[in-house]
Amino acid sequence: MRPLLSDRRQFLHTVAGGAVVGLLPDSLPTPAPAIAGNEFLLGEGLAYLNTGTIGPCRRETIKATQRAWETLETNPIAHYGRYAGEALIEDTRTVAARFLGCDLSELAMTTSTTSGMNAIAQGLRLNVGDRVLLTDQEHAGGLHCWQYLARHHGVVLDVVPIPRGALSVESIVSAIAKGIRTDTRVISVSHVFSSTGLRMPIAELSALARSRGMLCVVDGAQAVGAIRVNVRELGCHAYATSGHKWLMGPKGTGLLFIAKDAQAVIRPMAFEEGYSTYSNGNGVVNLPGLLGLGEAIRFLDRADMAQVEGHNLRLRNALADRLRASDNLTLVSPPAGSLASPLLTALLAERFDRTAFSRALLERHRVAIRATHAEFGFNGIRFSLHEFNTVKDVEGAVEAVRRELAA
Ligand SMILES: Cc1ncc(COP(=O)(O)O)c(C=O)c1O
């Protein structure tokens, strides 16, 4: 079978070695080696298309984490003590801030997207009757924090439906704008929907929020590491993301951006003294994990996020083109273009159960994907295409889906 795109693994080798190279030309044949034994520990023959749920760490990230942990344990107090640990982690925070396009004074290291979103919501002092505008596609990690404020502090949530199907930047911005009420204080949306992979027009929504004196808060769990993200260009007030998904960092790590001009109104308790990881607002942190995250970010930075995004989208579009013709399956992600992301979601015909279908793909075909979350209310399966994925993975997934649809 003719490969749809060039293989990426050789590219990863080159980048891991520190050389700055572009994507390999599309005409190169797909080399044979499996991921196992190369950059990742993924099982032999496993097509891992589920980075949106949890990403794999590269061997180098694991090594950097392990090295840091082993060094720290040679004399815990010397290394965990404020000043030694602080120097190491500040260096990582600097790298992370540059990666996201913000100042060091705007970037905190966290444990997850959810913890970042919680910090934002609890750091705001919203009053009874203040309103927060959300979409109906928010993941629990970016929703729970607002539901808490609604339940315990009298904050009112307005939910704008974003229907699956033909959409445009204008129609989305106009739907959100129509949802704004006199007491709306915050627009809080995902950058990329975990349900359909729709990429929200954050720059436009930030501009809208700013023009009305509101805050724009973004759940970036499905964006950072998958696509190029520059929070300054987006113009949002706060942005939370995970280290353990598309950044391919250690599990239980995350990043939180709060813009300088919002820091007076978003005041999380943990960052009252500033955003450095060692402060009186923070206890002991997972230093090895956060240092490992630094290694993972440095790698993606060298790989160049514009290139990574291009690769991810080309694979995603190739998968979409191949799946589109299948009976009993309908793509519900946006078509290729500005609303598309490296997540691709398909609706299954009713006679297939999405969870059993995903399990069958893994158990019978060694293709790892995820069934869409129950709360989104549709019978969907979701594919995540990241830089370590190849044309062979796409072809394997297409073949596996076809066989299961025919079973
Ligand atoms: C959009 C979105 N937000 C938040 C989360 C939660 O991420 P974390 O586990 O890092 O808190 C996820 C996880 O899938 C997600 O897709």
Residue 54 falls within a domain, yes or no? Answer: no
Total domains in the fold of the chain = 2
Contact criterion met (CB below 8 Å) for 125 and 264? no
CB-ligand 1 contact for 222 (6 Å cutoff): yes
CB-ligand 1 contact for 184 (6 Å cutoff): no
Mention every residue, 6+ apart, whose C-beta is less than 8 A from residue 258: 106, 108, 120, 123, 237, 238, 266, 268, 271, 275
Residue 264 has pLDDT above 90, yes or no: yes
| Locus of tokens 């396009």 | 101
Average pLDDT (353-365) is 98
Residue 55 falls within a domain, yes or no? Answer: no
Tell me, what's the pLDDT at 24? 31
Q: Are residues 72 and 160 in the same domain?
A: yes
Contact criterion met (CB below 8 Å) for 146 and 134? yes
Per-residue model confidence as pLDDT tens digits over 283-306: 888 999 999 999 999 999 999 999
Percentage of residues in the chain having pLDDT higher than 70: 89
Distance of CA 245 from the midpoint of ligand 1 (Å): 9
Report which of 100, 109, 91, 35 is spatially closest to residue 271, judged by C-alpha positions. Answer: 109
CB-ligand 1 contact for 114 (6 Å cutoff): yes
CB-ligand 1 contact for 141 (6 Å cutoff): yes
Residue 85 falls within a domain, yes or no? Answer: yes
Q: Are residues 173 and 80 in the same domain?
A: yes
Percentage of residues in the chain having pLDDT higher than 90: 81
Residue 213 falls within a domain, yes or no? Answer: yes
- Residue identifier of the C-alpha nearest atom 9 of ligand 1: 112
Atom of ligand 1 nearest to the CA of 52: 14
**Lowest-confidence segment of 27-36, 259-268, 290-299 by average pLDDT:** 27-36
CB-ligand 1 contact for 384 (6 Å cutoff): no
Per-residue model confidence as pLDDT tens digits over 144-201: 999 999 999 999 999 999 988 768 999 999 999 999 999 999 999 999 999 999 999 9
Q: Residue 142 maps to which CATH number?
A: 3.40.640.10
**What is the Cβ-side half-sphere exposure of residue 124, based on CA atoms within 13 angstroms?**
28
Q: Are residues 121 and 258 in the same domain?
A: yes
Atom of ligand 1 nearest to the CA of 194: 16
Residue where a domain terminates, one of 285, 301, 317: 301
Q: Are residues 290 and 308 in the same domain?
A: no
Q: Are residues 273 and 315 in the same domain?
A: no
Residue 57 falls within a domain, yes or no? Answer: no
Give the separation between CA 326 and CA 191, rounded to whole angstroms.
29
- Residue identifier of the C-alpha nearest atom 5 of ligand 1: 141
Q: Residue 312 maps to which CATH number?
A: 3.90.1150.10
Which domain covers residue 28, as residue numbers? 9-49+304-406
Residue where a domain terminates, one of 301, 332, 348: 301
Q: Are residues 290 and 386 in the same domain?
A: no
Residue 1 falls within a domain, yes or no? Answer: no
Site to substitute for ligand 1 among 117, 242, 372, most atoms within 8 A of C-beta = 242
| Distance from chain centroid for Cα 158 | 24
Tell me, what's the pLDDT at 83? 63
Q: Are residues 74 and 184 in the same domain?
A: yes
Mean confidence (pLDDT) of the chain: 90
Distance of CA 81 from the midpoint of ligand 1 (Å): 31
Give the separation between CA 293 and CA 250, rounded to whole angstroms.
6
Residue 86 has pLDDT above 70, yes or no: yes
Atom of ligand 1 nearest to the CA of 112: 10
CB-ligand 1 contact for 139 (6 Å cutoff): yes
Mention every residue, 6+ apart, whose C-beta is less than 8 A from residue 182: none
Distance of CA 113 from the midpoint of ligand 1 (Å): 6
Residue 358 falls within a domain, yes or no? Answer: yes
Tell me, what's the pLDDT at 81? 66
Give the separation between CA 215 and CA 284, rounded to whole angstroms.
31
Residue where a domain terminates, one of 301, 323, 347: 301
84 φψ region: left (φ > 0), alpha (ψ -120 to 50), beta (else)? alpha
Residue 56 falls within a domain, yes or no? Answer: no
Atom of ligand 1 nearest to the CA of 138: 1
Helix or strand (DSSP H, E) at 196: none
Q: Are residues 385 and 311 in the same domain?
A: yes
Contact criterion met (CB below 8 Å) for 347 and 371? no
| Distance from chain centroid for Cα 26 | 26
Per-residue model confidence as pLDDT tens digits over 113-140: 999 999 999 999 999 999 999 999 999 9
| Locus of tokens 């109906």 | 136
CB-ligand 1 contact for 194 (6 Å cutoff): yes
Q: Are residues 120 and 22 in the same domain?
A: no
Q: Are residues 261 and 337 in the same domain?
A: no
Q: Are residues 373 and 250 in the same domain?
A: no
Q: Are residues 138 and 67 in the same domain?
A: yes
**Lowest-confidence segment of 31-45, 158-172, 181-195, 381-395 by average pLDDT:** 31-45
CB-ligand 1 contact for 221 (6 Å cutoff): yes
